[in-house]
């Protein structure tokens, strides 16, 4: 299970990703609470979180082109450093008492630019650092670091935020990004093996490339629906804790920590069960569990039950995302991996960002609870329709769809 760590470049990248992902989740905790305390509105919380990932709409194609044209390691170091500078400015302006709402939103946007590049670069680096036979385990273990950070970041930032205030928590976040930049340096240079030629029409070319691979194309749209409906709750979560659960800020940190712990253990379990024969069952469990666990978490009035349900929210969502990403990364050529990954980020992250902002605004009109319940159950309904309409989605419930290098031309070849 731990074989990918025998590759030194992968091990360094894993730590870099763990530090930056911890910084990401610490940022979500600090930013959302700070915006809620300043504005008392989920709309502004949703907008702030939207700005931290919304730039994917414009910058995803550019990040993919750069990842395929230049050294991916160097670009990853630069993007982590930019995120660290941004959180450092947030720490300084908060400490000086000069942080205004427009400035905080502008810095959120600057962070979002860095985050988009980090997403594409880290995803494209992994397959170039391990042999193809280790890719599924490598991606799953990488997600252990990513999702474990969802546990570790809030777990460490919450006491700093409660006891030392947001300035100290922002400073901690800056330190995490500095560590991410430094640990990315030993990864070593990494360039695509083939030049990409003329970069014009990149987005159209990338869509055409992915559309020609039906299993990959189907997985991308399944993840897009998953992100939009089961993962857009983050903008409502602070209001859910304070309004529906009537709990203090520390409970919000505890809920985020529980979701992160579930995500880490779910990814670890997926890495342990990396054999393709387990994939169809795990895909079905994670798909249905993502919707059901979110609805159960939203329906309760108990903090303890919400935290317990949050664990399963994190576990099932992480498993679903990791499996889809491993399928996509293992099915594209290295010289096209940056552009393919950027389109994947565009199709999946943009709906999540937009829905998250929209649901944050709706939470000011109605309680977050019914919105979260409808989102979870709505995902199950939409996926049932998708399953009925798409033979390629049905193919993902068969073992051969998950065999590395097997991209059949027709659905009957899978059955």
Q: Which of 8-17, 56-65, 74-83, 193-202 has the lowest mean pLDDT?
A: 193-202
Task: Identify the residue with better confidence: 1 or 403.
Answer: 403
- What is residue 98's predicted lDDT score, i.e. its pLDDT? 93
Over pLDDT 90: what percentage of the chain? 32
CA distance 403 to 407: 9
CA distance 415 to 412: 5
pLDDT band at 201 (very low <50, low <70, confident <90, very high): low
Q: Are 383 and 270 in contact (CB under 8 A)?
A: no
Residue 408: pLDDT over 60: no
- CA distances, 286 to each of 106, 156, 178, 312, 318 (Å): 36, 28, 34, 10, 8
pLDDT tens, residue by residue, 49-86: 889 887 877 777 777 777 777 788 888 899 999 999 99
Domains and CATH numbers, the chain: 8-187+202-405 (1.20.1250.20)
pLDDT tens, residue by residue, 301-345: 999 999 999 999 999 988 888 888 777 777 777 666 667 777 777
- Among 30-34, 186-190, 211-215, 277-281, top mean pLDDT goes to 30-34
Q: What angle, 0 to 180 degrees and rounded to 10, lies between the N-to-C axes of helices 8-39 and 72-96?
A: 30
Q: Are 380 and 288 in contact (CB under 8 A)?
A: yes
CA distance 84 to 177: 5
Residues 6+ apart with CB under 8 A from 21: 145, 146, 147, 148, 149, 150, 153
Task: Identify the residue with better confidence: 225 or 196.
Answer: 225
Alpha-helix residue ranges (DSSP H) falling in 185-302 = 202-211, 214-230, 237-239, 249-272, 279-299
pTM for the structure as a whole: 0.72
pLDDT band at 409 (very low <50, low <70, confident <90, very high): very low
- What is residue 289's predicted lDDT score, i.e. its pLDDT? 94
pLDDT band at 413 (very low <50, low <70, confident <90, very high): very low
Residue 186: pLDDT over 60: yes
Best CA proximity match to 143, nearest among 282, 17, 289, 19: 17
Q: Which of 202-206, 211-215, 285-289 has the lowest mean pLDDT?
A: 202-206
Over pLDDT 70: what percentage of the chain? 91
Average pLDDT, the chain: 83
pLDDT tens, residue by residue, 349-360: 777 777 877 777
Q: Which of 77-81, 162-166, 181-185, 382-386 has the lowest mean pLDDT?
A: 162-166
Mean pLDDT on 364-391: 91
Mean pLDDT on 143-165: 83
DSSP state at residue 150: H
- What is residue 375's predicted lDDT score, i.e. its pLDDT? 92
Residue 162 three-state SS = helix
Task: Identify the residue with better confidence: 215 or 181.
Answer: 181
DSSP state at residue 193: S
Count other Cβ atoms within 10 Å, centred on residue 413.
Answer: 11
pLDDT band at 381 (very low <50, low <70, confident <90, very high): very high
CA 306-312-314 angle, 5° bins: 100
CA distance 269 to 162: 33
- What is residue 278's predicted lDDT score, i.e. its pLDDT? 84
């Amino acid at each position: 299970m731990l074989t990918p760590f025998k590759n030194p470049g992968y091990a360094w990248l894993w730590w870099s990703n763990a530090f930056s992902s911890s910084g990401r989740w610490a940022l979500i905790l600090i930013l959302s609470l700070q915006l809620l305390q300043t504005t008392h509105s989920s709309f502004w919380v949703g907008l702030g979180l939207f700005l931290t990932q919304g730039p994917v709409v414009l910058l995803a194609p550019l990040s993919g082109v750069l990842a395929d044209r230049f050294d991916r390691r160097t670009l990853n170091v630069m993007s982590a450093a930019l995120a660290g500078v941004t959180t450092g400015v947030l720490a300084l302006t908060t400490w000086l008492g000069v942080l205004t709402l427009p400035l905080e939103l502008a810095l959120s946007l600057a962070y979002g630019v860095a985050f988009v590049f980090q997403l594409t670069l880290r995803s494209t680096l992994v397959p170039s650092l391990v042999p193809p036979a280790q890719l599924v385990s490598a991606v799953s273990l990488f997600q252990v670091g990513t999702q474990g950070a969802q546990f570790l970041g809030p777990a460490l930032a919450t006491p700093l935020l409660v006891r030392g205030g947001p300035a100290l928590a922002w400073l901690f976040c800056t330190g995490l990004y500095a560590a991410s930049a430094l640990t990315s340096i030993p990864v070593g240079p990494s360039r695509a093996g083939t030049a990409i030629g003329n970069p014009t029409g990149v987005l159209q070319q990338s869509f055409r490339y992915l559309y020609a691979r039906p299993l990959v194309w189907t997985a991308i749209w399944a993840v897009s629906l998953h992100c939009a409906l089961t993962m857009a709750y983050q903008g409502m979560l602070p209001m859910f804790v304070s309004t529906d659960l009537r709990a203090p800020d520390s409970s919000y940190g505890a809920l985020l920590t529980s979701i992160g712990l579930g995500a880490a253990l779910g990814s670890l379990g997926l890495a342990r069960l990396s054999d393709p024969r387990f994939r169809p069952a795990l895909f079905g469990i994670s798909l249905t569990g993502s919707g059901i666990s979110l609805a159960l978490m939203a329906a309760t009035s108990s903090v303890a039950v919400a935290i317990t349900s949050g664990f399963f929210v994190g576990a099932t969502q992480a498993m679903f995302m990791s499996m889809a990403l491993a399928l996509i990364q293992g099915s594209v050529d290295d010289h096209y991996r940056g552009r393919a990954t950027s389109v994947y980020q565009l199709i999946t992250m943009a709906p999540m960002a937009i829905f998250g902002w929209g649901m944050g605004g709706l939470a000011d009109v109605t309680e977050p609870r019914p919105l979260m319940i409808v989102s979870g159950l709505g995902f199950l309904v939409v996926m049932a329709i998708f399953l009925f309409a798409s033979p390629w989605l049905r193919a993902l419930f068969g073992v051969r769809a998950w065999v590395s290098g097997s991209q059949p031309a027709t659905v009957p070849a899978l059955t």
